[in-house]
Chains A and B, each alone.
Chain A
Amino acid sequence: MVLCRDVTEQRRAEELLRASQRQLAEAQRIAQVGSWEWDLETDKLTVSDELCRLFGLPVGIRMTMAEGVAAVIHPADQERVATALGRIRDDPSPFALEHRIIRPDGDVRTVLARGEGVADENGRLVRFIGTDQDITDRRRADAERRRLLNRVYEAQEGQDRRLAADLHDGHVQSLAAIGFKLEQARLRLGGSGSPEVDELLWQVTKDLSAEVTALRRTIGRLRPLVLVEDGLEAALREEAKSACNRAALATCEVVSELDGRLDPVVETALFRVAQQALANVVEHASATHAEVAIDCTGKGVRLRVSDDGCGFDPDHVQAIADIAHFGLIAMRERVEALGGRFRVTTAPGHGTVVEASLPLTVATEGPGA
């Protein structure tokens, strides 16, 4: 007796499955993404071919999660990864974890692991599934972008310093000299000159004095002497005082918990952020009260500029951000280029809070680098 069964559909399904698997493998290769499945009961790890290639492991390797962590995770990240894995064992919600790996050939790569838990029919968490993506190139590009941005800021600060020095050593001195000469002319005329001429000379001398003062302030904005000589807290107090004078602010307080000087690069960056944030308060906020707060938080320093003004719609500002409105992009880039965090909290009618956090010390290249 011969039994015959039509397996056409089965063969077609198998072919479709193989095609789908080929496409998935190809997609993983192109995206540099490997997938994995972690059985919580056995600790067994099942990994895709691309993940093996990503980690430099033999395709088809069998290992437990503990073995995998010990074999590929960068020693400096192992404790952090182990802690994270311990934490997620009881929490099926999606997670993302960035860490470094070392391939057998010594190549260090940066990987972003994403995953989430899977429960059985009784709701018991039994396994995790997820992906690992090689983001080394992206992180290197980010680092290169930050490096270049810092070079731009260093160059800009250097140019401002030179311009300030030129204005100070040349124009301010010359204008002050002209003022003294005008005063000398006024004294020489004495009682013999007409009251109108005396009045005119007095007025010109006074106007010139005001211009020299304004020029000194411009120099101060280019290269804030008070920041160089006295530090961030004193510079912020000067800037707050200036903001009060320029706007209809009832108060602009500075609350500082700083103890001593900071890294000059950090001081300059935070001062520039505060300067821009206060300029926004003066020009756009219609605020009555503003506050500049600065405090150290362990390894970092945080600046917070807040006002009780009209606020704004952040989505609207984002839409016109290409023209760097409010200088928000510049502030964010400056902070993030130094490895810091920047945040703006605002809503129409509810004031604005600008926060910038930076590490206490930052590694930058010298001018000659």
Chain B
Amino acid sequence: MTRPRLLVVDDHQLLRAAVVDLLVQAGFEVAGEAADGADAVALAKELDPDVVLMDLRMPVLGGLDATRLIKDACPDIQVVLLTAFESPALQQQAQEAGCFAYLVKGCPPGDLRLTLHEAMAWRRSLLPPAGSPSVEA
């Protein structure tokens, strides 16, 4: 099985680098990085990652709006929100936007890896089996 492909999106450069280093160490493939929601949407369409690890509050375009656009364009890409904000209303909004999970920064790192694996497994369960004929309209 191929390694899970991720897109990591966070405007905090130090945090984004630490997350990327950890996930690479943990065996994930980080296909791309973005520092705002607009870049995230463009890269998601271009790179087709299994999972987008998305910050909430970012310049240009926030994480929730970016998630909606990604889910509209590529419904099978899973988005995991990783934010410092803990709010029941935001969790609800994240769910409505199509997020797979809502994680709070400072959660045990093991939870992050486990959630990403679950999101990846869910995404791959949605895809047609490898080698199956493609259907053109």
Contacts and interface: CB of A to CB of B under 8 A. Distances in A.
A173 B21 contact: no
A158 to B, nearest CB: 19
A187 B23 CA distance: 10
Given A212-B105, A216-B106, A230-B89, A176 B22 contact: no
A187 B22 contact: yes
A286 B110 CA distance: 39
Nearest to B105: A176
A177 B18 contact: yes
Given A174-B14, A212-B105, A212-B106, A180 B88 contact: no
B25 to A, nearest CB: 5
A216 B104 contact: yes
A248 B85 CA distance: 28
B88 A234 contact: yes
B43 interface: no
B106 A173 contact: no
Contacts of B109: 179-180, 183, 205, 209
Contact of B89 (A169, A188, A234): A234
Which of A174, A177, A187, A209 has the most chain B CB within a 10 Å cutoff?
A177
A321 to B, nearest CB: 36
A212 B106 CA distance: 5
Provide the main secondary structure of the chain A interface.
helix
A168 interface: yes
Nearest to B89: A230
B87 A184 contact: no
A195 B101 CA distance: 32
Interface residues of A, number: 29
Given A184-B25, A187-B25, A206-B108, A177 B17 contact: yes
B22 A183 contact: yes
Interface string B72-114: 0000000000001111111000000000000011111110000
Nearest to A175: B106
Given A173-B12, A173-B14, A184-B21, A209 B108 contact: yes
A181 interface: yes
B15 interface: yes
Contacts of A245: none
A313 to B, nearest CB: 39
A52 interface: no
A229 B15 contact: no
Which of A176, A188, A220 has the most chain B CB within a 10 Å cutoff?
A176
Contacts of A229: 87, 89-90
Interface of A: 168-169, 172-181, 183-184, 187-188, 205-206, 209, 212-213, 215-216, 220, 225-226, 229-230, 234
19 contacts: A168-B84, A172-B105, A173-B14, A173-B84, A177-B15, A177-B17, A179-B106, A180-B15, A180-B18, A181-B21, A209-B107, A209-B109, A212-B106, A225-B86, A225-B90, A226-B88, A229-B87, A230-B88, A234-B88
